[in-house]
Amino acid sequence: MAACVLVFLCVDPMKLDVTKTRKDFPILEREVRPGVRLTYLDSTATSQKPLSVIQTMDDFYRMSNANIHRGVHSLAEESTTLYEGARERIAKFINSASARQVIYTRNTTESINLVAYSWARANLKQGDLVILTEMEHHSNLVPWHMLQAERGIELDFVPVTEDGLLDMETYKTLLSRSPKLVSFTHMSNVLGTINPAAEIIRLAHAAGAITLVDGAQSAPHLQVDVQDLDADFFAFSAHKMCGPTGIGVLYGKAALLESMPPFLGGGDMIREVKLRSFRANSLPHKFEAGTPAIAEAIGFGAAVDYLATLGMENIAAHEHEVTEYALERLEEIPGVKLFGPSADKKGGVAAFTLDGIHPHDVAQILDQDGIAVRAGHHCAQPLHEKFGIPATSRASFYLYNTKEEVDMLVNGIYKVKKMFG
């Protein structure tokens, strides 16, 4: 996928009109306290929502609310059409060969757990190797720790270099041990590193391994083509890409999904139930037990419509410009240490520490001026331990952020330094 990043930076896409785009997001007009306008720099945690997504969900509840698949009345048919139509558009957004391969989940975490509970428990046994990386989010660590405790599988990790990249030579050495699964983040939520997903997958397949990609951070920011990547599984969430919370997707290759046992049991995932047996439904419903997040799925469809209208290449180019500027400005501040690679190798993330000042103090003082950044270990404690720090402050940028907001961040950090002497 690294090649795709270069394409984003080398083409001359239509420039994103950020002034116009910002008007699509009502919350950006908010004053968090009298006279203090919101400067939202925490989209890596969750993005803000455009009016089109908010209105789509509102319209559903006002006009079409009904349960899906089970009814033959008008509202039930409308609801089902909206729900499945969103799935079709999400499938197109990631270039899935079929909407049947797009499984609705609650979020990326549940998608990864679905693979761990269904595919992995059906296919992995004691001693089987799963390769992860040192930059994984906890949601791509803990399920495998749990499986290790239960099954005695072996875990090993691709190291992260000092400049925030994966050590690909060590990865190749690990592959010589015939792993069964390689599971990795496409883009780090701390370092912003955009990993060479296509190469990682190609090498894994050559070694006979299945691949799972955590796309929570990449799907909102990059043009993702699951067929071009040749990913076996790809997980992502709506809430980080202008959509609602409580809805995510697991994409999987059809043959793998067909072979996997159901994850949860109950309504809608069944074809037939008897007192002593059941038959599972066909894809994708086999993995969607119970009444789902209908409005949220419909909102997810509106979100990918919105992103597609803006153009993912335009979004990536805009974010690169803002991120490059942010890294340059932050590097000017005495006492600031940045983590992760240069702007050409990362997405819109700037994680940093400030000498002698805890990241939580940095975030709280910035908040006084309406500047929202994240502070902590960002659900990536092992990565912070790798760099010998307990926490970082993290500013993250999306399609609605501007260089002027970067300047406000920098001025705010100088204010922090002044307050702490």
Give the model confidence (pLDDT) of 202-217 as tens digits: 999 999 999 999 999 9
Which residue in the block uniquely carries the two structure tokens 């079929």?
98
If you average pLDDT over residues 61-76, what whole number do you get?
94
Mean pLDDT value across residues 338-343? 98
Task: Find the mean pLDDT for residues 93-119.
Answer: 98
CA distance 262 to 280: 7
> What's the pTM?
0.95
The answer to whether the beta carbons of residues 212 and 183 sit under 8 Å apart is yes
Instruction: For 280-323, write each residue's pLDDT tens digit.
Output: 888 999 999 999 999 999 999 999 999 999 999 999 999 999 99
Q: What is the mean pLDDT of residues 357-380?
A: 97
- Compute the average pLDDT of residues 62-73: 93
- Report d(CA 324, CA 264) in Å as an integer: 44
Cβ neighbour number for residue 55 with a 10 Å cutoff: 13
Q: What is the 3-state secondary structure (H, E, C) of 27-38?
A: HHHCEEECCEEC
End-to-end CA distance of the chain: 44
Q: Where are the beta strands (DSSP E) in 331-399?
A: 336-339, 349-354, 371-372, 374-376, 392-396
Q: Do 221 and 16 contact (CB within 8 A), yes or no?
A: no
What residues are annotated to the active site? 379
User: Angle at CA 106, nearest 5°, toward 62 and 367?
Assistant: 85
Q: What is the pLDDT of residue 14?
A: 66
8 has pLDDT over 80: no
Average pLDDT across the chain, whole number = 95
Whole-angstrom Cα Rg for the chain? 22
Residue 13 reports pLDDT greater than 60:
no
> Residue 11: is its pLDDT beyond 70?
no
pLDDT tens string 147-192: 999 999 999 999 999 999 999 999 999 999 999 999 999 999 999 9
Question: What's the burial of 10, exposed, middle or buried (CB within 10 Å: 0-12/13-18/19+)?
Answer: exposed
Give the pLDDT confidence score for residue 70 in this predicted structure.
80
Query: Measured at the alpha carbon of residue 152, what is the angle toward residues 151 and 155, in degrees to the nearest 5?
Result: 115
Query: What percentage of the chain has pLDDT greater than the value 90?
Result: 91
Query: Which pairing describes strands 36-37 and 210-214: parallel, antiparallel, or unpaired?
Result: unpaired
| Cα-based distances in Å from 75 to 69, 78, 167, 230, 289 | 11, 5, 54, 38, 21
Domains of the chain, first to last = 2-50+311-419 (3.90.1150.10), 53-309 (3.40.640.10)
d(CA 114, CA 105): 9
Query: Distance between CA atoms of 365 and 327, rounded to whole angstroms?
Result: 20
Alpha-carbon distance 25 to 321, whole Å?
A: 21
Average pLDDT on 396-407 reads 98
What is the pLDDT, as a whole number, of residue 268?
A: 85
Q: What is the mean pLDDT of residues 265-288?
A: 89
pLDDT at 317: 97
Query: What does the DSSP assignment read for 87-150?
Result: HHHHHHHTT-S-GGGEEEESSHHHHHHHIIIIIIHHH--TT-EEEEETT--GGGTHHHHHHHHH
Q: Which of 7-16, 196-205, 232-241, 355-364 has the lowest mean pLDDT?
A: 7-16
